[in-house]
Structures are given as C-alpha cells and as structure tokens.
Amino acid sequence: MQLPRDTLLRLWRTMVRIRAFEERLILENRKGGIAGHLHLYIGQEAIATGVCAHLADEDAITSTHRGHGHALAKGCDATGMMAEIFGRATGSCAGKGGSMHIADPKRGHLGANGIVGANAPLALGAALSAKTLGTHGVSVAFIGDGASNQGAVFESMNMAAAMALPVLFVIEQNGYGEYTRTDAVTGTADLAARAASFGMPAQQIDGTDIFAVYDATQSAIHHARTGLGPTTLVATAPRFGGHYEGDNQAYRSASDMQKARDQQDCLALYRNRILEAGLLEARDLDAIVHAAHSDMEQAARQARADAPPAPAALLTDIYAKAL
Amino acid sequence: MRIKSYSEALRDALDQEMARDPRVIIMGEDVRPGVMGVTQGLYDTYGPTRVIDTPISETAFIGAAIGAAMTGLRPVVELMFCDFAGVCFDQILNQAAKLRYMTGGQISLPLVIRTTMGAGERAAAQHSQSLHHLFTAIPGLKIVVPATAEDAAGLLLTAIRDPDPVIFFENKMLYDSQMSVSDPAIALPFGKAHLLREGDDLTIVALSRMVGFARTACDELAQKGISADLIDPRTTQPLDEAAILGSLHKTGHLLVVDEGSARCGMAADIASLAASKGFHSLKAPVQMLTPPQTPIPFAPELEDAWLPSSGDIEKAAYTLLQKV
C-alpha cells in the first residue's frame, strides 16, 4: 500500500522521537540523577508506531514496563514523561509513577504496568466501555512474549473472544522474558497459533517492518470496530539492550546483539527503503532526527531543573478526597 | 419501610442504582441466574449489556471491571466468595488500589467489588473466610462490612456512587435475615459507625455477622445489670475512630469481636487504636474475640467451635469486667 507523504513523515517522526527519547535517557542515566530502573524499547519502535498510527484519543492502550515507546506513539507529551522519569512534580504522573507507570488518560493511555501481563484485563475493560457506551473505540494491550505466558493474558484472550470485544493484543516478541530466552520457557514456538486457539484471528508479522505492522493493525482495528471482536498480532523485533539499562546481558551472545543493531534496526530499514524508493528526501528525514534530539535534550534539561514533589504530595491522590 | 431480607435489600439497591444511572453495569460468574440471590431478576430488566455473565476467570473479569471503571462505566462486579480473591489478587492489590496514586490522580475508579464472607455454611476452608482485614491493609481501597439489611442497601448505594474502588463484604449467613428497611433505600455515609446499644459498663465493637451475636449478648448482659455500648463501624476503611474512642472514654472497657483473622486482623487493629490513642481511658486490658488462628474446618462440630457465638461474647464481657 502506498502511504501519503504526510503519513510517511509522521511514522518516521514518531519512531525517531522514541529512539531519541531513550538515547537521551541513556546519556542522562550515565550522568546520574535518574532513580530506579529504565526498561528501554530501542529496537521495537516500529511496533508502537505502526499500531498507534491507527488510534485516536478515544481509543485506549495499556502498556508494559517497557512502555516509553507506546506512550510517545500514543501522543503523550515527551517533556512530561521526561519529568516523570526524573521524579519531578511536573511529571505526567506528578512524580508518583515513574518510568514503569506513565499514563495519560486524556490521550487514551491507561497506563504502563509494572506487573507483567496485568495490563491485558484492563484493556478488556476499556473495550467493554467502548462497546457499552457505543463510542466505536477500540483498545490495544501491548504484551511482551514473556507476558504472553501469563494466565492474565490467557484469561483475557478467552474473555475478549467470548464477548467479541474490540481489543487488539499486540505481542512484542523480542525473544526474551527479562533475562531468559522465551523459547526456553514456552511450550510452543507459535504464539500466533496459541492466540488463535482462543477463537480469534492471529498473525505473525515482522515487527521491524513498519509497513507490515501498519497494514496488519489496520485490518485488526477494522475487524474490532465493526464488532467482529479481538485479534492478536505477534510482532517480532529485537531488543537492542538488556532487560533494563545497565544489564550486562551475560545471557545473550555478542553476535545476537550485533545482528540486532546491524541488520534489524527498524529505523535504518525504514530510512533505506524510503530513500531507495525515492518517497522522501534524506534532508527531510535528517531534519526530523535533529529536531527530535534537540527536543529531548531540552526535555531533559527542563526535567533536571524542575522541582521534586512537595512532601505534602505523599498524602494526596490515594482517594478522590482525603479520608 | 418494608420488611426485606438482607439479600432482597441488596438486590433492590442494585436495581435502584441501575435505574438511576445507565453507566452502572453488573458482571461476574452466574450473575444472570444470580446464584447468590442478590442479582436475581436484574437481567430481565437490564439485559445482556448491563448484566454480564463472565467466564470463571476472576483475573480477567475483575481487571476488565477496573478498565471499564477507568473509561466511563460504574461496574459492580461480583466475586462470588472472598476466598477467590486469591486468584485475582494482583488486579485488586496492584491495579485497582494503586492506579489513582500512581498516575498522580489522573485516574478515577468508581468500582464496586461485591463479595461474600462468613463461616457457617459447612463449606470448609476455601469458601468460608472473612478477609476484610487483608483489604483494609491496602491503601487506595474502601472496605464495607454491612451487618443489617438497612446498612447493606444504604452502603451499597454509597459504594456505587463513590469515585474510589470499594470492596463490599456481604456476610452470606445474613442473606436471609429480615428487617424493616427504608424503601427506597437511603444512602449511608462511609466512616460513620452505628451505635446499636447504649450503656456504661463496656464498649463492644463488632463487625458483620458478629453485630447480631453481640446484640443478643447485650440483651443477656442487660438482664444481669451490665450495660454496653455496641458499636458497628460498618466500614473498616474509613474507620470511625472517634466513635470507638469516644465510647471507650465513657466506659473504660473495650471488647472487639470479629470473624476475621486473630493475627493482624480488625480486632488487633482496633485494639491497637485503643492502646495508642485511648490508653488513658482503659481500665482493663482490651479483650479480642476472634476465631482461633486456623483454617476453617468442615465438620459442623468443629466449625461451630471455630466461630465466636453470642455466648462467647457474653463470657468475654465478664472476663473483661472481671466478673468471671
């Protein structure tokens, strides 16, 4: 399918911004000042970008601990996210969530989740609301291949199929669940077939090919919006880094890591393809890269300058009104 | 006023709220037939979009109710027995309770999880527990333990209208208990204890089914010239500390009766309240009457021995007042 120039630029911009956001985090983390762990999405940008390109603010996503890419692709503000990761009062969650819990309900982002697989049932609920309230909204649960072994995910797939809920399960298959190869702890190599066995269409796609992600999502979302129920997409793309930033990846071969960067970089693949086909000019693409890096540097500078939450914030937001 | 059972009062309250607010939906296992009685007949009125039978997948349907509450519905989800919280604890502990806080207040969760507690049905250790104390320990949840039909209906209205997640513990041994109740139901506030008896000699704080047992005990004690304040907190979060401490200040003697855990339960919690904030009012050590710290046995003789009775409450009062 030939996409219009605007769309091509938008997809590139989103992928580049996710990459730039996280490359900035790596730099800032080395400088110090970021508490806790960072679970980076670098290498998988085409998946969040290709999926969320089809979603409006009224559509919901639920995300994972590796969720910065999903949030940016869904339209969350990078400055607020950066401030959140720095634990600032100006953060998107007022400094109470951090990297693993970024949420922006106004953008339809119902939250990244620190519990592996727990976001799948929440996506069902958003789909149930859409169906009950007649909004024609859909919801997407992003799930890792590690999470795909969780009972919460199996239960959700069954219930979504049984109730024909407008849900898309996107299994991001990066080959690892935390520090362990997924194939070493999974009874089947075919996660799409396993999802299909719950009674829904399911498809394996190349998650480094944004056009494959874009096209497959378009069909799945149409399926959901027309009341035909859930779909599962299993999108394969490598994790460039470890489970978290700083993980030495002793469990992974050097060649596997090198191959990911040299041959499976979704941004490089996209750029080469677009330039070879003469669809966009290199200078257009490069300008977007420069702008993204500049934006993220500015966001980090702002986050460092912002104040932490006031001590009184400890006791707010537990309930709607303090008891 | 009309005579209703606890179960009928709950059903009518659900009906009342569903009629008032189209965002209220019911979901859970077997809610269409309504095997616990409370949701019986609602499917006929509200149909399949608002009364939803789910698979036996507590994680999926509790989680779905949370997601639905985040996005515009006001789900009342039935967890058939509170014992089953074991299979969906993550969704309650890590999702429902924390989403508002973790998101810096961006998310509101108008969710009610109706569930049952209480021993006495000869259902053994996995269908008889009273786990309200476990959930009271989790910030972000509100916990309701109604003891009467009037309270059950009134507190359910409040729970459904509340913007925070509420775990609503119905004692299944009370479902058939009848009383004259407001019709239609009148919403009752959370955090406001009910003073059922007034007296000067001791304060009895009791929860859920133990309230009725304590009332019987109070009648027996009265015949022996002992008068008690009988306080039912009705919600354990928020807890009406002022009512308990005020009464303790008057009587100087505190007996707490609860069907929950002997260790780290509501009895221990209220005893610690008295020790930390009412110490100078205490004329004797606080008496805690709970079941023993064991799983709930099946054999009727053992289960009856396990559960506190009105006679046990009476005896505990004598012990407290040193009139053994």
What secondary structure, in 3-state letters, does A189-203 show? CCHHHHHHCCCCCEE
Confidence of residue B324 (pLDDT cuts 50, 70, 90): low
- Out of B78, B127, B132, B170, pick the active-site residue: B127
Interchain proximity B55–A162, CB inside 8 Å: yes
**pLDDT for residue B12 is more than 90:** yes
B127 catalytically annotated: yes
Q: Indicate which of B27, B59, B138, B167 best probes the interface with A, i.e. most A CBs within 10 Å of its own CB.
A: B59
pLDDT of residue A1: 59
Report residue B35's pLDDT band, with 50, 70 and 90 as the boundaries.
confident
- Domain definitions of chain B by residue range: 2-181, 194-320
pTM above 0.95, yes or no: yes
- Between the alpha carbon of residue A146 and those of residues A142, A181, A228, the distances in Å are 12, 9, 27
Q: What does the alpha-carbon distance between residue A52 and residue A59 come to, in Å, rounded to a whole number?
A: 9
For residue A319, which residues of chain B lie inside 8 Å, CB to CB?
A: 100, 140, 142, 164
In a mutational test of the A interface, the residue from B26, B106, B241 whose CB has the highest number of chain A CBs within 10 Å is: B106
Partner-chain contact A122 B70, CB within 8 Å: yes
Class of residue A69 by CB neighbours under 10 A (exposed 0-12, middle 13-18, buried 19+): buried
Tell me the shortest Cα–Cα distance from B239 to chain A, in angstroms.
9
The position carrying tokens 């119902």 is A110
Residue spans of alpha helices (H) in A150-307: 151-162, 191-196, 210-225, 254-263, 266-276, 282-305
Structure tokens at A90: 């100006």
Distance from CA of A70 to the nearest CA of B (A): 16
Give tens-digit pLDDT for A72-125: 999 999 999 999 999 999 999 999 999 999 999 999 999 999 999 999 999 999
Residue B275 has pLDDT above 70, yes or no: yes
Give B93's DSSP letter. I
CATH of the structural domain B2-181, one choice from 3.50.50.60, 3.40.50.1000, 3.40.50.970, 3.30.565.10: 3.40.50.970
User: A124: which chain B residues are within 8 Å (Cβ-Cβ)?
Assistant: 60, 63-64, 67
Secondary element (H or E) of residue B289 = strand B287-289
CB-CB under 8 Å, B66 with A103: no
**AA identity, residue B143:** I
CB A138 within 8 A of CB A221: yes
* pLDDT single digits (tens) B141-179: 999 999 999 999 999 999 999 999 999 999 999 999 999
- Amino acid present at A21: F
Burial readout B113-136 (b: 16 or more C-beta within 10 A, e: otherwise): bbbbbbbbeebbeebbbbbbbbbb
Structure confidence at residue A2 (pLDDT): 83
CB A147 within 8 A of CB A64: yes
The CATH number of A5-307, from 3.40.50.970, 3.30.2270.10, 3.40.50.2300, 3.20.20.70, is 3.40.50.970
> Do residue B100 and residue A104 have CB atoms under 8 angstroms apart?
no
User: With a cut of 70, which residues of chain A have pLDDT below it?
Assistant: 1
Give the nearest partner residue to B104 out of A96, A110, A320, using CB atoms: A96
Q: Is the peptide bond before B33 cis (omega within 30 degrees of 0)?
A: no
Contact A118 B163 (CB under 8 A): no
Residue with tokens 């059903």: B11
Instruction: Determine whether B17 is an active site residue.
Output: no
pLDDT of residue A61: 98
* Confidence at B225, pLDDT banded by 50, 70, 90: very high
Distance from CA of B222 to the nearest CA of A (A): 36
**CB under 8 Å to B182, separation ≥6 — which residues?**
B1, B150, B153, B154
Stretch B62-86: mean pLDDT, rounded? 98
Name B311's Cβ contacts closer than 8 Å, sequence gap at least 6: B217
CA distance B111 to A297: 41
Ranges of each domain in chain A: 5-307
Q: Which tokens in the block code for residue B83?
A: 């014992």
Contact B63 A121 (CB under 8 A): yes
- From B74's Cα to the closest Cα of chain A, the distance in A is 10
Alpha helices (H) along A101-245: 119-133, 151-162, 191-196, 210-225
Which class is B194-320 in CATH? Answer: alpha beta
Residue type, B217: A
> pLDDT-based confidence at B36, cuts 50/70/90?
confident
Q: What is the DSSP letter of B324?
A: -
Which of these, B175, B181, B218, B176, lies nearest to B200 by C-alpha position? Answer: B218
Task: Give the 3-state secondary structure of residue B143.
Answer: strand
Q: Are A126 and A137 in contact (CB under 8 A)?
A: yes
